[in-house]
Amino acid sequence: MGNFSGGLNLKHNKHTTRYKPIKELPQPQKVILPLQQNLGCPNDPLVKVGDEVFEGQKIGDSSKFVSAPIHASISGKVVKIEKLPNPCGFDVASVVIEAGDGVRGKGYGVSPKKLGELTPEEIRKIVREAGIVGMGGAAFPTHVKLTPPAGKPIDTLIINGCECEPYITADHRIMLEWADNVIYGALALGRALMVDRILIGIEDNKKDAVKTLNDSDEKHHAGRRSPIKIVKVETKYPQGGEKQLIKVLLNREVPSGGLPLDVGVVVNNVGTAVAAAEALKHGAPLIKRVVTVTGSGIVEPHNLLVRIGTPFEELVKACGGLTGDAARVIMGGPMMGLAVSSLDIPVVKATTCILVLNKKDAQAYEERDCIRCGRCIKVCPVGLMPNFLADYAKLKNWEQVEDYNVADCIECGCCAYVCPSRIYLVQYFKVAKKELQ
């Protein structure tokens, strides 16, 4: 195995939820479903105000390849279609559904075929129609990953079970409680890619997950050769980054500006594997996901199975509410998450965690001048020079920013974490990327 340069050993802060089983949240009375919940193209609505819809019914779709349809996560009536706030900080066309006493049923049923009977094309089609995207937070349409372009042969599928971001334990619980579906989904995704090597990478602080998945794989294959190998990797942030995990597991380096498929690899999250298993076994579209609700500003942290579109407020209530000194709400973890201004916004496919910090933990710092210590360069897992990138971004010298490869930044936050001057480095890089786009 290889190793990636840079990175950090962080305080994990996972103890409050890692031993708590996943708890399913009751169906909400209202869901808000943004018509764009993936990287790529937005969807057009397939319903209108006043329509009655069923759980699992497709309500938004696009003819574009890089997209993923949206499905109703509850049965009820469409009461509104308009632009509403979403967790990414801008308004998105959204379908609002209210549960109705007279509307029952599901828009899906059991798949008629077993995995061994499905062709790769059939698997890709089912995954696409189920609206499955990357469940680790990236939300890239999974069927696109399963359709590599001509001239880009894939020899390895990696299933990412690292979950290196502090506080978040949703994937850990998924591996412990839904191991059979992780294995089934991994085999299905591997079949779609026509590969015979599947690696499941798990950080070595999750030994129980390694054992559980190994036991499930052995049970599934019952003495037959398995294409799956479960690999323990060092607990180090950002071990769960695609490029970093590829380097560690295969000692291959994704080129600057390149993608994993450029080195013959596709990477999917364990939650994505489970979503694929549910679609293939039961015909279920992606209408639920596991969300870690945690932090010093939450009374009783939990891992919750919730319906897409459920307002954040419902999840917080299910965890005992906010503490008296709660100060900041973040979608995602403390390193790469996005701060949100309201609990009215909905859970989307990319919502891995709702992290609430109290005043002490959410303390803001005043940015000072760079002292040229070089710590940011040392910890950057991509080998960039964050200090110079920030300088050029402040000067709006976009040509130099591009020359210093800002596009390769994975926005992991390692540089900002170690910066003694408390420079908001990642924010500068986000602005620079947007300007270059």
| DSSP states along 378-391 | HH-TT---HHHHHH
Alpha-carbon distance of 257 to 436, in angstroms, equals: 14
Q: Pick from 253, 282, 311: which residue ends a domain?
A: 282
Q: What is the reported pLDDT for 106?
A: 64
Buried b vs exposed e over 119-151: b needs ≥16 C-beta within 10 Å? eeeebbebbbbbbbbbbbbebbbbbbbbbbeee
Q: Which domain holds residue 244?
A: 115-282
Report residue 405 as tokens.
């490869």
Q: Using the 8-state DSSP alphabet, how is residue 30 labeled?
A: E
Same domain? 385 vs 261:
no
Same domain? 144 vs 268:
yes
At residue 108 the predicted structure's pLDDT band, cuts being 50, 70 and 90, is low
Alpha-carbon distance of 262 to 2, in angstroms, equals: 18
119 three-state secondary structure: coil
Q: Pick from 282, 317, 334: which residue ends a domain?
A: 282
Given a cut of 60, is residue 39 above it in pLDDT?
Answer: yes
Q: Do the domain assignments include residue 347? A: no
Better-scored residue on pLDDT, 223 or 283: 283
Same domain? 125 vs 264:
yes
Q: Pick from 224, 253, 282: which residue ends a domain?
A: 282
The 10s digit of each residue's pLDDT in 296-312 is 999 999 999 999 999 99
Q: Do the domain assignments include residue 23? A: no
Domain count, the chain: 2
Q: Do the domain assignments include residue 202? A: yes
Identify the CATH number of the domain in which residue 193 sits.
Answer: 3.40.50.11540
Q: Do the domain assignments include residue 238? A: yes
Q: Rounded mean pLDDT of 172-185? A: 98
Q: Do the domain assignments include residue 203? A: yes
Same domain? 272 vs 381:
no
In this structure, the strands spanning 52-53 and 76-85 are antiparallel
Asked whether the beta carbons of 135 and 35 are under 8 A apart, the reply is: no
Given a cut of 90, is residue 110 above it in pLDDT?
Answer: no
Q: Do the domain assignments include residue 291? A: no
Given a cut of 90, is residue 388 above it in pLDDT?
Answer: yes
Q: Do the domain assignments include residue 219? A: yes
Residue 97's φ and ψ, nearest 5 degrees, are -120, 130
Given a cut of 80, is residue 154 above it in pLDDT?
Answer: yes
Given a cut of 70, is residue 109 above it in pLDDT?
Answer: no
Q: What is the reported pLDDT for 320?
A: 98
Report residue 356 as tokens.
């609430």
Q: Do the domain assignments include residue 340? A: no
Same domain? 138 vs 243:
yes
Alpha-carbon distance of 125 to 361, in angstroms, equals: 45
Q: What is the reported pLDDT for 113?
A: 78
Report residue 361 as tokens.
């933990």
Same domain? 273 vs 166:
yes
Alpha-carbon distance of 437 to 435, in angstroms, equals: 5
Q: What is the reported pLDDT for 89?
A: 75
Q: Is the pTM of this model over 0.75?
A: yes
Q: Rounded mean pLDDT of 307-324? A: 98
The 10s digit of each residue's pLDDT in 360-373 is 999 888 999 999 99
Q: What is the reported pLDDT for 223?
A: 83
